[in-house]
């Protein structure tokens, strides 16, 4: 029973860090990266599809993405979807290739993105702590039902705390790396 609680806590904490990494990939740095367009959805014959399912997204150079729709008829729809996304990008079409230049980040924009990254990291930390709280309450419930001893309870809570500390350290490392990427000119 205790092992199941620890295993569940670990998988939920892992999901929190994966969610943070996904959120960080949406915060753009000055460099072009295909994951920037992951949130863009394109109307494909009446259904909303991720851009990666209707076009090839490649890095052309450090500041330009090249988007090549698989069907010629989709060029205008893909371009419109990129324009209307809240990413602040202005695509330019050249035949069947849509080039998306990444605007240079100003100091103010970098600071705003850094603030946003810190907020995302704090949400991930809170999520990890909530998982710890849930796991500890499950352990206390087992103690109340006299399925485990007080020593086992203390030992399990210590192990859960170590797990929590490890994931929070990983979140801090991810945040530090993202801040470094954002502030790099």
Structure confidence by residue, pLDDT tens digits, 91-115:
888 888 888 888 777 788 888 888 9
Are the C-beta atoms of 41 and 49 separated by less than 8 Å? yes
- Using DSSP, state whether 45 is helix, strand or coil: coil
Choose the CATH number for 2-26+106-183 among 1.10.287.3510, 3.40.30.120, 3.90.1150.10, 1.10.132.20: 1.10.132.20
Look up tokens 């000119």; give the residue: 185
Choose the CATH number for 34-101 among 3.30.1360.40, 1.10.1270.20, 3.30.420.40, 2.60.40.10: 3.30.1360.40
State mean pLDDT over 10-32. 84
- Using DSSP, state whether 184 is helix, strand or coil: coil
Predicted TM-score (pTM) of the model is 0.71
State mean pLDDT over 49-66. 85
Beta bridge partners of 57: 67
Every domain range in the chain assigned CATH 3.30.1360.40: 34-101
CB-side exposure of 43: number of CA atoms within 13 Å?
8
């Amino acid at each position: 029973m205790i092992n199941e609680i620890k295993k569940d806590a670990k998988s939920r904490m892992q999901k929190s860090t994966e969610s943070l990494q996904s959120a960080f990939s949406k915060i753009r740095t000055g460099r072009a990266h295909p994951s920037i367009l992951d949130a863009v959805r394109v109307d494909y014959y009446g259904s909303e599809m991720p851009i990666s399912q209707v076009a090839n997204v490649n890095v052309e150079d450090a500041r330009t993405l090249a988007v090549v729709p698989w069907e010629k008829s989709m060029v205008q729809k893909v371009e419109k979807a990129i324009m209307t996304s809240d990413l602040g990008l202005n695509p330019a079409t050249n035949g069947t290739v849509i080039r998306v230049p990444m605007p240079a980040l100003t100091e103010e924009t970098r600071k705003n993105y850094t603030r946003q990254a810190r907020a995302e990291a704090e949400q991930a930390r809170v999520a990890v702590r909530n998982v710890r709280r849930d796991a500890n309450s499950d352990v206390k419930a087992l103690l109340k039902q006299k399925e485990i001893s007080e020593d086992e309870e203390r030992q399990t809570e210590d192990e859960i705390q170590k797990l929590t500390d490890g994931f929070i350290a990983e979140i801090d490392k991810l945040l530090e790396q993202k801040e470094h990427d954002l502030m790099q000119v």
